[in-house]
Structure 1
């Protein structure tokens, strides 16, 4: 079973992509920046979950 951090991280990446695209579309630099930050945070959390999964398998 996947670690919950991987699931939550993946969801944050998707949310970030949507916010970034919406920010670009409407010219909202703050929203675009928030989207980029959410994507980065999600990728980090996903990586942490991946490490936990590897540890659990051993």
Structure 2
């Protein structure tokens, strides 16, 4: 009688290096981008009627 051992499924060799990496946003601090984003947000709120022209927060 032949004995067969059930082996566990092999692990994905790409998972360990991927989990070890520290991923994140590139250059997350960008003041010019923040200014553009807030102005764009204000414009979209004004155009959609959620805020009036004079109710901008400084």
Higher relative contact order (CA 8 A, sep 6+): 1
Q: Structure 1 length as normaliser, TM-score?
A: 0.37
Richer in helix (by share): 1
Task: Name the larger-Rg structure.
Answer: 2
Q: Structure 2 length as normaliser, TM-score?
A: 0.37
